[in-house]
A and B are shown apart, each in its own frame.
Chain A
């Protein structure tokens, strides 16, 4: 019985410091990612300031895997703007261009119709059953900036979880100062 206790003791003494360092470095990554994300939310006023394009409906402008920066200002929606909107009963938000706007005289509410640049028809088929227009509350933000390819990182991670695991393992073997690029 004694030798089990001895070896446990020696393993503990070697690893406890290493495990602690790893835990701290993981914590640093998670918290700094959270800080950047929440900070962007404050600056842009949009609940999801960065989105990844998942479909080819806006090609050739936006391809799958491109990243869009969103902004949610008080300025009213106008035709031609690229907006990100949520349809009731659908989980994944859609990035499409506004082609029609009707703004009320008295209340200032807007009715908006969208269409993907690469789609043949407008988006009424995508909307909830019987819905003809989008209102302000459907819209999460408008696209203001664009970065190609970067979103592939998240697409690959969500579709191939094994790679996500590998990356985490890689991070855990690095020291804290080395991982600055992964904090995003």
Chain B
């Protein structure tokens, strides 16, 4: 008849198949969620603005971020990684994306938040193009599932402008 090895093998194969099917179903079910997140971003202050010794502009600013990302969460969501990036174009670069602040939201209860913060990562340009520069602030989020496919999207806020003079 069947040996112990064959029986163990059959059980493991069967259970692994079932787990794989459940995982793919869980990942697939994320497609039925149509999120409707909202965000407001305000630059409340430019703390300082100067040219570094190597010629790159650097600015420090204070941000007010309020967002409601609760609708991103489904039963297959492990966490949502959210970050705010400054995005602008310069003569040299077609796109500059500088992450200013980020956070990990572990659960739906924490997904509606308001935060007042200065930039967590340094806002440094490649060159000296920041005076009077118009830029977008974009709130990006990456949904990390418990298993399966990752999702990402963003809200773009336009019409922000840096000061004309160093300070």
Whether B5 contacts A60 by the Cβ 8 Å rule is: no
Whether A145 contacts B95 by the Cβ 8 Å rule is: no
Partner of B97 from A61, A78, A105, A148 at Cβ < 8 Å:
A78
Q: Knowing A60-B106, A174-B5 touch, does A108 contact B149 (C-beta < 8 A)?
A: no
B106 CB contacts on chain A under 8 angstroms: 60
Interface centre among A108, A146, A147 (most CB of B within 10 A): A146
The answer to whether the Cβ of B16 comes within 8 Å of any Cβ in the partner chain is: yes
Residues 1-21 of chain B, each 1 if its beta carbon lies under 8 Å from chain A, else 0: 000011001101100110000
Stretch at the interface among A11-19, A34-42, A93-101, A157-165: A93-101
Partner of A173 from B5, B121, B149 at Cβ < 8 Å:
B5
The answer to whether the Cβ of B161 comes within 8 Å of any Cβ in the partner chain is: no
B149 CB contacts on chain A under 8 angstroms: 144-146
Task: Determine the distance from Cα of A60 to Cα of B97 in the docked complex, in whole angstroms.
Answer: 24
Task: Determine the distance from Cα of A33 to Cα of B1 in the docked complex, in whole angstroms.
Answer: 30
Whether B146 contacts A108 by the Cβ 8 Å rule is: no
Whether A181 contacts B12 by the Cβ 8 Å rule is: yes
A78 CB contacts on chain B under 8 angstroms: 97
The answer to whether the Cβ of A79 comes within 8 Å of any Cβ in the partner chain is: yes
Interface centre among B140, B144, B148 (most CB of A within 10 A): B144
Interface centre among A60, A99, A143 (most CB of B within 10 A): A99
A148 CB contacts on chain B under 8 angstroms: 146-147
The answer to whether the Cβ of A47 comes within 8 Å of any Cβ in the partner chain is: no
Minimal beta-carbon separation of A178 from chain B (angstroms) = 5
Q: Knowing A105-B94, A122-B121, A180-B13 touch, does A79 contact B99 (C-beta < 8 A)?
A: yes
The 4 A-B residue pairs with the shortest CB-CB distance in the complex, in nearest-first order: A99-B99, A79-B97, A181-B13, A101-B97
9 new A-B contacts, CB < 8 A, other than A102-B97, A103-B96, A104-B94, are A80-B99, A80-B142, A105-B91, A105-B92, A144-B149, A145-B149, A146-B144, A178-B6, A181-B12
